[in-house]
Amino acid sequence: MAGKIVADTLEHSTAGSIATNYVVGGSAKAWSNINGIGTTVLNDSLNYSSLTDVGGGKTTMTFSNAMASGNYSLTTACGLNGDTIFGGDLAAAYIVTTASHRIQSRDQGGALTDPDIACSQVIGDLA
């Protein structure tokens, strides 16, 4: 049986309350943790159906449920050579569409390279 809950405010018994529009608008609509060593795979994710290793530090991430527009907020990070702090390694997103986005990772010298680990987080409206 499908159902629907309509509420303007969520309230916790001890932690206070929050407007539901804040929760809907400010929650991650997708996130990923990618292992780029060898064959690139999703370690874990939300709202990603697949990834495509385009080669040379480039990975296209496809959403399970599309975004409403290509103007969502996307944050990426990567780690190389066991660097789990993501300190000096560079990850950038480009080719952003409602159905997917691409992550590009570079080493500290600026060369495209497959990361040991890459992560992304998307905030925006689902279609």
- Position 54 pLDDT exceeds 80: yes
Q: pLDDT tens digits for 12-51?
A: 888 888 888 877 777 899 999 999 888 889 999 999 999 9
Would the pTM of this model clear 0.85, i.e. be above it? no
- Give how far the C-alpha of residue 14 lies from the chain's centroid of Cα atoms, to the nearest Å: 31
Q: pLDDT tens digits for 72-105?
A: 999 988 887 665 545 445 667 778 999 999 988 8
Please report the domains of the chain, with CATH numbers, ordered by start residue.
29-123 (2.60.40)
What are the residues facing 32 on neighbouring strands?
45, 120
Neighbouring residues of 15: CB distance < 8 A, sequence distance ≥ 6: none
